[in-house]
Amino acid sequence: MKRRFQFFLASLAIALLTTSILGQHPLTDKNAKQDAIVQQMAEAVTLIESNYAGEINYGLLTKTSILGMLHSLDPHSNYMDKKDFDEFQTDQSSQYFGIGAQIGARNGQTYILSPFPNTPAERAGLRYGDHIIAVDNESTLGWPSIKVAEKMRGPRGTTVEIKVERPGEPKPLTFKIVRDAVPLPSVINALMLQPGVGYIKLGDATRGFAQTTGEEVRRAIEKLKSQGMTSLILDIRDNPGGLVSQAEDVSSNFLMQGQKIYSLKSRVRQMRAGDVFSRNTSPERFPLVVIINRNSASASEIVAGALQDHDRAVIVGETSFGKGLVQSIFQTPYGGGLTLTTGRYYTPSGRSLQRDYSKLSYYDYIYQRSSDGDTHNQKRSGGEERRTDAGRAVFGGGGVEPDIEVKSPTLTEMQLRLLGPVFAFTRQLINGQIAGLSQFKLESIQRNHVLLDTELVVDDKVLNAFRNFIKESKDFRFISDSVITENAGFLKERIRAEAATAHFGMETSSQALFAGDPQLKKAIEALPQAEKMAKNIAHSGKPSTDTKDNKKTEGKKN
């Protein structure tokens, strides 16, 4: 017990030391304040040890104590124990070691949603809809999907045994798979939407700007140009951010040498503050539209803000998250880590995109928005006004406001409830268990596929098969015929998307949802406006020929 207590105090002292290194108070003043905090925490822990009726989890006590301290500074400073910090570093590295499959919870169980391309999972034969019932002879019954994922990861070259239940198979299938490096690409999709119009999906809720993002975007652009691309839609919706250096690289694809990408201001001497410029002597000059939403954050906002301030792209969608703070990463001796706010970034016009968090709880700041589901209008709420290179008014203080506002599509409560039954039905469908619909049966996964309108067509015959499936099911009795009729269009779209996931992978399945995406539709409509901007590229901004103050910020997280 004494050893655990000492570990707690040591962890706290390390966190205090890390923050004090970055402070501005005299050393004696800092030492006195640190001693007072450690003493108060020691007294609190002593009382807990002596009087608490339950079992004490010292690791959790340490983690939550440091988190509470950091969140009193700002909502983006964070503490990670060794396990979380290892996962954080893996996410930043663009790869991990495991089998390479997207898994998730559906209807209370964990399933393979899609094996990643060219991975051990795909080579072994795992497929969409496989129900994971055991990992290394341990039943997964009652496990959350995150625990299943953790069990499937492990050192490169080691073997994991996975047992799955698959519709149409008389008994469970067992796969022995050797773990290997699995790439985590930032570019999720790169394809031609229509002749001349390219589309790049950069990141999602789980993948942001990692070590290879800039190079991935360059490769995607070259690939699409070889297919005839003359204009581009860059989709950074739901991208949570990541490495600032990669936001620089992505922005530089479209900005001329000497055009500012952002400014970094910090009181910390160790942090190289200043202006960051594009170094690209031959940037892309085609028309560009960028789609953002309320979950586009930090590094995503650096890209959107820079392109907007230089009138290089039309921004479509919703006001972005509003994170203008930059964190530096510090590793602790016990293997954990701190991401500590050490600076603020500003767009080329001088805007801070940081939302005010002074009067909000951590939960409200991270998860809540105004009643209309979007962030506030910065102009109406007194946000700072700046001007783009062309003289357009833009505002700071709460994210990037789009040039063309289009709300994200939302699902009704019933539609959310229908997603589980749709998955259960499609799982049977692609395994040939739905009579009369053999054209949907999966033989093998085809990659890099562009979904045609004539493929995997979900018509009334398929919808009627779904009706019969629901009637025969004991789990989905809440779905009536009238509910199916009222949501027929939604059901057809979602069944097709799920079937596309099975046949072609998640990279292709999103194409089945494009037709019902109002933000993407508006982005295509905005291309003529983007073309006008592109014609003025040579005159947009006043590029500096002196970029000696340019700073690379590898290791900085935004």
Instruction: Count how many domains the chain has.
Output: 4
CATH number for the domain spanning 240: value is 3.90.226.10
Q: Is the residue at 85 inside a domain?
A: no
Q: Which domain holds residue 177?
A: 95-183
Q: HEC string of 117-132?
A: CCCHHHHHCCCCCCEE
Total-model pTM: 0.87
d(CA 231, CA 196): 6
H or E segment and range at residue 90: helix 82-93
CB neighbour class for 109 (10 Å; exposed up to 12, middle 13-18, buried from 19): middle
Q: Is the residue at 531 inside a domain?
A: no
Rg (CA), the chain: 26
Q: Which of residues 132, 166, 183 is at a domain's end? A: 183
Q: Is the residue at 28 inside a domain?
A: yes
The answer to whether residues 57 and 162 belong to one domain is no
The answer to whether residues 207 and 308 belong to one domain is yes
Alpha-carbon separation of residue 243 from 176, 177, 179, 479, 558 (angstroms):
36, 32, 27, 45, 6
pLDDT of residue 361: 86
Q: Which of residues 142, 168, 183 is at a domain's end? A: 183
pLDDT of residue 41: 84
Q: Which residues of the chain have pLDDT under 70?
A: 1-30, 269-271, 369-382, 538-558
The answer to whether residues 172 and 227 belong to one domain is no
3-state SS assignment for residue 321: coil
Q: Is the residue at 510 inside a domain?
A: yes
Catalytic residues: 298, 309, 323
The answer to whether residues 230 and 151 belong to one domain is no
Q: Which of residues 183, 210, 237 is at a domain's end? A: 183
The answer to whether residues 172 and 261 belong to one domain is no
Amino acid (one-letter) located at 473 = S
Q: Is the residue at 396 inside a domain?
A: yes
d(CA 141, CA 37): 44
The candidate with the shortest Cα–Cα distance to 298, out of 258, 353, 358, is 353
Alpha-carbon separation of residue 234 from 106, 139, 310, 407 (angstroms):
30, 43, 16, 17
Q: Is the residue at 69 inside a domain?
A: no
